[in-house]
């Protein structure tokens, strides 16, 4: 009875996921492939440069992890300040600095992308 409606919703979600993922590819973020209704990404900022500089000292992993977490927190707060809610995954193992956005409507996703672009520039 509701199969057609469900198929339309799934197609819409897949289309939005593709659009948001493509837009994230143009921003300074690392993202992971997704087949779900969310995208995991790590904003890249000063942490990426610092990690590269520390490679010679052998502390790149520790430094990058600490700085990435701090930068992810700053980006998360910038999004919250713009009334855009994403999940801060920085405290999860191996996800320092990572954020997770749940896909919504086209308008909601555009608001997220606009806000993220503002925060990162």
Per-residue pLDDT at 97? 94
CATH code: domain of residue 41: 3.90.1150.10
Check whether 102 has a pLDDT greater than 90: yes
Check whether 7 has a pLDDT greater than 60: yes
Q: What is the pTM of this model?
A: 0.80
For strand 87-88 and strand 29-31, is the pairing parallel, antiparallel, or unpaired? Answer: unpaired
> What is the span of the domain harbouring residue 49?
3-120
For the chain, the average pLDDT equals 87
Check whether 53 has a pLDDT greater than 70: no
Number of domains in the chain: 1
- Burial string for 11-31 (b: 16+ CB within 10 Å, else e) reads eeeeebbeebbebbeebebeb
- Rounded Cα distance between 107 and 91, Å, is 29
Per-residue pLDDT at 46? 62
Q: Tell me the average pLDDT across 41-50.
A: 73
Q: Tell me the average pLDDT across 90-104.
A: 95
Per-residue pLDDT at 36? 96
Check whether 64 has a pLDDT greater than 80: no
């Amino acid at each position: 009875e509701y199969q057609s409606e469900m198929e339309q919703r799934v197609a819409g979600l897949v289309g939005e996921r593709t659009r948001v993922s493509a837009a994230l590819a143009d921003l300074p973020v690392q993202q992971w492939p997704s087949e779900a209704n969310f995208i995991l990404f790590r904003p890249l900022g000063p942490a990426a440069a610092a990690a590269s500089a520390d490679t010679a000292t052998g502390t790149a992993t520790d430094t990058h992890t600490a700085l990435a977490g701090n930068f992810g927190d700053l980006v998360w707060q910038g999004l919250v300040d713009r009334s855009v809610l994403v999940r801060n995954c920085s405290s999860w193992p191996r996800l320092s600095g990572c954020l997770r956005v749940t896909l919504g409507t086209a308008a909601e996703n555009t608001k997220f992308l606009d806000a993220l672009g503002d925060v990162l520039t």
